[in-house]
């Protein structure tokens, strides 16, 4: 599904037929399995914060506190101007549901093609893939809350739990966590990853690497 997002469809009608299905499955329907619920139960009653590169809204659907989430890379539920002519995002649910329900022969009708309300350019997904990504006011507020959280944890016993972070965008979570733990002797780093569980030697005994399925690992603790 991820690779499909880069496919050069011949027409915008076909493009949005594919994208509306992708958005429905990944954003408006709940992920199967108890992984997110298990994680929420683990953090409930604790002072937590979620930093994620996921764009599928599953943390919100599983009941995580919205004020404790920073989804850095966008949201399948939002559109933005493709130019972009302004730094705003738009909820796409109503149109996406219509595109999904009404498409025929792998095409949506031309009247459903989303256009920027300000300049009329085609709308595009609010997903970070290059420097046209729109960071709206909500994005900056979430970043500020994450930075406040980090400031409050300075020198305190805090667990940096990294789940399934690869080397696609390691600068956002992985390197950030290593840096926080290196600076704070009371902090701990736990990395759960199937096939790529490792930590820098400098973290020594303050790190724990679990090579395995995230769902199975979390089950052990709930
Ligand atoms: Zn525009």
Gap from CA of 82 to ligand 1 centroid (Å): 7
CA of 104 to the centre of ligand 1 (A): 28
pLDDT of residue 2: 86
How many angstroms does the Cα of residue 172 sit away from the middle of ligand 1? 28
CA of 136 from ligand 1 middle (Å) equals: 14
What stretch of H or E contains 10? none
Mean pLDDT (the chain) is 95
pLDDT at 158 over 90: yes
CA of 85 to the centre of ligand 1 (A): 4
The structure tokens listed for 1 are 């599904």
Closest CA to 177 of 73, 49, 40, 35: 49
Percent residues over pLDDT 90 in the chain = 93
Ligand 1 center from residue 124 Cα (angstroms):
10
Q: Could you give the CA distance from residue 200 to residue 177 in angstroms, rounded to a whole number?
A: 11
Q: Hey, is 219 helix, strand or coil?
A: helix
pLDDT at 222 over 90: no
For ligand 1, the distance from its centroid to the CA atom of residue 76, given in whole angstroms, is 19
**What pLDDT is stored for residue 177 in this prediction?**
97
Distance between Cα 133 and ligand 1 center (Å): 13
Whether 33 has a pLDDT exceeding 90, the answer reads: no
142 φ, ψ (degrees, to nearest 5): -65, -40
User: Helices 12-23 and 93-102: crossing angle, nearest 10°?
Assistant: 110
Q: Cα(29) to centroid of ligand 1, in Å?
A: 29
Mean pLDDT of 128-136: 94
Measured in whole angstroms, the distance separating CA 118 from the mean position of its chain's CA atoms is: 27
Taking the C-alpha atoms of residue 60 and residue 69, their distance in angstroms, rounded to an integer, is 9
The Å distance, Cα 77 to ligand 1 centre, comes to 18
Residue 76's nearest CA partner among 95, 55, 93 is 55
How far is Cα 21 from Cα 79, in angstroms, rounded to an integer?
15
Contacts 24+ apart (CB under 8 A), 148-156: 149/49, 149/68, 150/180, 152/47, 153/180, 153/184, 153/187, 154/184, 155/184, 155/186, 156/184, 156/186, 156/187
pLDDT, one tens digit per residue, over 41-82 is 999 999 999 999 999 999 999 999 999 999 999 999 999 999
Q: Reduced to 3 states, what is the DSSP secondary structure of residue 123?
A: strand
Hey, what are 67's tokens? 């004020």
Q: What CA–CA distance (Å, rounded) separates 165 from 154?
A: 23
- What is residue 30's predicted lDDT score, i.e. its pLDDT? 83
Closest of 127, 124, 125, 102 to residue 112, by C-alpha: 102
pLDDT for position 146: 97
- In this predicted structure, the answer to whether residue 153 has a pLDDT above a threshold of 90 is yes
- Note the pLDDT tens digit of each residue in 171-195: 999 999 999 999 999 999 999 999 9
pLDDT over threshold 90, residue 170 = yes
Give residue 88 CA to ligand 1 midpoint distance, Å.
Answer: 9
Q: What token pair was written down for 76?
A: 């399948």
Tokens at 190, concatenated: 């736990």
């Amino acid at each position: 599904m991820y690779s499909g997002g880069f496919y050069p469809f011949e027409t915008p009608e076909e493009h949005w037929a594919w994208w509306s299905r992708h958005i429905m499955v990944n954003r408006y329907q709940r992920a199967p399995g108890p992984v997110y619920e298990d994680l929420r139960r683990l953090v409930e009653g604790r002072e937590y914060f979620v930093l994620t590169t996921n764009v599928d809204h599953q943390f919100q659907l599983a009941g995580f506190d919205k004020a404790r989430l920073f989804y850095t890379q966008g949201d399948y539920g939002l559109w933005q101007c493709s130019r972009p002519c302004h730094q705003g995002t738009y909820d796409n649910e109503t149109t996406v549901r219509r595109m999904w329900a009404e498409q025929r022969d792998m095409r949506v009708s031309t009247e459903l093609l989303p256009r920027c309300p300000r300049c009329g350019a085609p709308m595009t997904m609010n997903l970070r893939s290059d420097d046209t990504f729109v960071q709206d006011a909500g994005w900056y507020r979430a970043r500020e809350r994450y930075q406040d959280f980090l400031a409050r944890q300075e020198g305190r016993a805090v667990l940096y739990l990294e789940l399934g972070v690869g080397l696609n965008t390691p600068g956002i979570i992985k390197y950030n966590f290593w840096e926080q733990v290196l600076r704070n002797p009371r902090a701990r780093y736990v990395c759960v990853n199937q096939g790529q569980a490792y930590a820098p030697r400098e973290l020594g005994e303050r790190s724990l690497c679990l090579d395995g399925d995230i769902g199975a690992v979390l089950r052990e603790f709930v």
